[in-house]
Amino acid sequence: MASNVYNLFIINKSGGLIFYKDYGSLGRLDTNDSLRLASLWHSMHAISQQLSPTLGCYGIELLEADTFDLRCFQALTGTKFFVVAEPGTQGLDSLLKNVYGLYVDYVLKNPFYEVEMPIRCELFDLSLTQLIRKDKGVIGR
Amino acid sequence: MADAPKKGTLRAAYRRAADIKPRDARTWQVSLNAFAFLFSEMVQYNQTRVDNIAELEHRLEHAGYGVGLRMLELLCHREKGNRREVRLLGILSFVHSTLWKSLFGKVADSLEKGTENEDEYMISEKELLVNRFISVPKDMGAFNCGAYVAGIVKGVLDGSGFPARVTAHFVPVEGQPRPRTTILIKFSEEVLQREARLS
């Protein structure tokens, strides 16, 4: 069964892609495309904050397209987490919060990780795969 | 109790602090997150001051050594009624249970005698607390932050008169994605000679 989640991105506060991973066979991107999408999203997110008619807007949270949903979560530090998933997928916001939790645990508490740099932490990958696998059951249905 | 310290003196205060027994274990726990961040900073701090991995390992071990000496004093007073272990197996089980319980809230997963050498003992832990959030990058080879815990163990052993070389290693476990950490204790010759004399 293909997961409903296509891919997961983490971008640092200056818009650089620091983590990217495909889940399932649909919607795979090559390295250039993933970098492009990440920086594009970063700028769009920043512009949306300025353009928003409501006060205290933190940027786009959900982008609904014909073929995918893009859900974004921005941490207080400016690090953005977003997933691309099948249209109409539920529970993506809580998935992102959980991903944030894992990031805080296995990336920030790792003495060998440099802040704002690409994430290469074995434990983070491992627990992320577990989380997505567990979530497949919940979101997938 | 020949010289009970005078009330209100510094010595009295120290003695009171050491006397407090952890009746409710939960009140003696510290935040794992706080510890993880502190430990991470400690590793990073030391990393900027060394040229190679062996040196980093040595520095972590040294940091643990002082903790070990102090833990020995404290636990002997609190748990053992000011008695110290003088026999090899006694001190090993002290490390494996008493020390581990007080540091990590549980006894160590296993304590084994080395199969190849008489003077080697191993304490294994499926997931060592200090390694809980740490992924060691591939280019650092076999480096293990458990060197800190190895240092603590060394401090305890040295302090009680069992000089030993203590090192931490990753040991892969079948069917598990994560290796376990083994603390390898290699006692000095004189320890074994004394032990043979005693038995």
- Report pLDDT digits (tens) over B130-147: 999 999 998 888 899 999
B14 interfacial to chain A (CB closer than 8 Å): no
Task: Give mean pLDDT, residues B122-127.
Answer: 93
Partner A contacted by B47 (CB < 8 A) = yes
Share of chain B above pLDDT 90, in %: 64
Q: Check pLDDT > 70 for residue B17.
A: no
Domains in chain A, start-ordered, CATH in brackets?
5-140 (3.30.450.70)
What is the amino acid identity at position B166?
V
Mean pLDDT value of segment A37-41: 92
Measured between beta carbons, the chain B residues lying within 8 angstroms of A112 are: 43, 134-137, 140
Distance from CA of B80 to the nearest CA of A (A): 36
Whole-number percent of chain B with pLDDT over 70: 87
Position B116 pLDDT exceeds 60: yes
Dihedral, CA atoms, B25, B26, B27, B32, nearest 10 degrees? 120
pLDDT computed for residue B115 by the predictor: 86
Contact A111/B39, CB-based, under 8 Å? yes
Predicted confidence at residue B122, as pLDDT, reads 94
| CB contact (8 A) between residue A112 and residue B137 | yes
* For residue A1, pLDDT beyond 50: no
Which pLDDT belongs to residue A141? 42
Fold of B10-19+30-198: Muramoyl-pentapeptide Carboxypeptidase; domain 2 (3.30.1380)
Q: What is the pLDDT of residue A140?
A: 47
The pLDDT of residue A137:
63
Domain boundaries, chain B: 10-19+30-198
Shortest alpha-carbon distance between residue A60 and chain B (Å): 31
Please state, in angstroms and rounded to a whole number, the distance separating the CA atoms of residues A7 and A82: 8
**What number of C-beta contacts closer than 8 Å exist between A and B?**
39
Per CB-CB distance under 8 Å, the chain B contacts of A111 are 39-44, 47, 134, 145
Mean pLDDT of chain B: 87
Give the pLDDT of residue B134.
Answer: 92
Are the C-beta atoms of A123 and B137 separated by less than 8 Å? no
What is the rounded average pLDDT of the residues B107-126?
91
> What average pLDDT score do residues B22-46 get?
82
Quote the pLDDT of residue B1: 45
